[in-house]
Every structure is written in C-alpha cells, then in structure tokens.
Amino acid sequence: MPAAVPVGHRSMRTGSTDMLERAEDAPAGIDAVKATGTVSKHDYETVVEPLIDAARREGRRIKLLYEMGPDFRSFTPGAGWEDFKVGLGAMRLFEGCALVTDVGWIRESTRMMSFLMPCPVRVYGNEERAQALHWLASLPEGPGISHRFTESQVLVVDVVQPLRKADFDALALTVDGWLSTHDELTGVVIHVRAFPGWENIGSMIRHVRFVRDHHRKVRKIALAADSKVAAVVPQLANHFVQAEVRRFGYDELESAVAWAAASPDQQAAGAG
C-alpha cells in the first residue's frame, strides 16, 4: 500500500475519508496527488498550493500525477474555483500533467481542454497508473536554467543547457511573485560556464521579452562566467538595462552574490 500524507476530513454522512493526499511512492521528480471522496477548497489550500509554492521557491518545474480513484465522488463548488484559480496562476510551472481516472466526464473534459494548456496533458485509466508515471518520467529532464533566492535576497540563475521558453515562463513567475511585494530586485547573478544558446527562435524571443518586462526593476546584475563571450556582455548589457552590471569568474559565485547584495552605502564604504 503506497505511503501518503493525508490532509482531509472524515465524512459524517458515509464515514469515508474526503481529502487530497500527497502520494509518496512516485519516482523522484514527480509530484503525485490522489483525490478521495469529496474534495474541498481546504484540500487545495493544504496540499496543492504548498506543492506549487515549494516549486516556485526551488526554481523547478512540476510533473504532476493527479489520481481520482474509485473512491472519488466529486468536488465542492469552492474546490472547483480553487482548482481554476491555482491552475491559472501556476500553469507556467508545469512540465506535464497526467490525469488518472475512470470518471467519464472528467476524462472527456480534460481531453477537450488539454490543447489550451501550456504543457502536455494525458489521461489514463485507473489501471494505467504505472504507464502515467512512466510517461511523466520520460518528459525532457533538466531545464535550461534553474533559479533560487539566496539568504541575502539575491536571485541566482544557473544556466546549464540551451534555454527554453518554459524556463523564462518559470523565471517570470518567480520574479513577478517577488515584485508583487517588493519595489525591485536587489540583484541578479547569472551563473554560466559557457553560454549554451537557445533551444529555438521562440525561446530567444521569450528571453528578450523577459528582459524587456523586468530590467527596470533590477538594481544590479552580476555575470559569473568563464566564456570568452562573457567578457563583452557587461558593455553590451549597459545599453539595454538600467541596472549596474559587473562580470565575475565562474568560480567567483560567492563574490558575485556579495556584490549584488551590497547596498550603495555598503559599496561606497567598501571602496573607501
């Protein structure tokens, strides 16, 4: 029997358990949730929203298995609205979604709506859960970039593979969330040994759009790289962004973060 962390409530009418639960038998890199009984708004708030918040903090994308087994009955109206609201706000974080259910109306409506989703969506029967997990695991591994906030509130962006449109969508979601409660980003550090380029022209256009939409709200940008091309990037960047830009070596990440985190007063004191 798969281990799970239940968060739900006991139905007074039937004695069955109504909840969403995180299933912990899924392979690494896949998030799995299972619906039982009647799913409420509270279930989304205690299971799905923390899952999405964790992905934002960790700068990762989500491969989600959503299972509605034989014990699933329905959603409350509040759960339906919460599902829509959460999905609308986080859809750019999803790498892929597999729905496992035998409920006919859910299967058909999901198939009809899947073409509107920014990530691949597939529907499986209850007996096909293993196939659903296999499909999610087969989706492309490793984003072009990963990102995280340091304790000094500097955003570090690690570039490891050719950049994809989805990477900038996820990055924008994190940055926009931060800017909703802050006036600006103190600093951004781009950490890349050698620039790998873009996956396609759409990825490059999304990159340009991301810079256009956010560059006025970043105070400092540090480039920690060893690429020969990186030597000219700060000079070029000064023509396109208002932030102060400085280059560091690839192995000087800590120095780059410290510089990006320093306030103008701290920087002046250090220079003095």
**150 and 215 together in one domain:** yes
Q: What pLDDT score does 188 carry?
A: 92
Q: What pLDDT score does 116 carry?
A: 63
**134 and 210 together in one domain:** no
Q: What pLDDT score does 20 carry?
A: 78
**260 and 223 together in one domain:** yes
Q: What pLDDT score does 86 carry?
A: 57
Total domains in the chain come to 2
CATH of the domain at 24: 3.40.50.10600
Q: What tokens does 98 get?
A: 């597999």
Note down pLDDT in tens along the chain; length 272 residues.
233 333 333 333 334 455 778 888 888 889 999 988 888 778 878 888 888 888 888 878 889 999 988 888 777 766 555 565 555 566 667 888 899 999 888 888 888 877 666 677 889 999 999 999 998 888 765 566 788 888 888 999 988 777 877 788 888 888 888 888 888 888 999 998 887 877 667 777 788 788 888 888 888 989 898 866 566 565 556 555 677 888 899 999 999 999 999 976 555 555 55
**68 and 186 together in one domain:** no
Domain of residue 226, residue span: 145-271
Cut 0.85: pTM above it: no
CATH of the domain at 207: 3.30.750
**125 and 210 together in one domain:** no
**75 and 186 together in one domain:** no
**129 and 192 together in one domain:** no
Q: From CA 210, how far away is CA 194, in angstroms rounded?
A: 21
**133 and 79 together in one domain:** yes
Q: What pLDDT score does 168 carry?
A: 85
**160 and 267 together in one domain:** yes
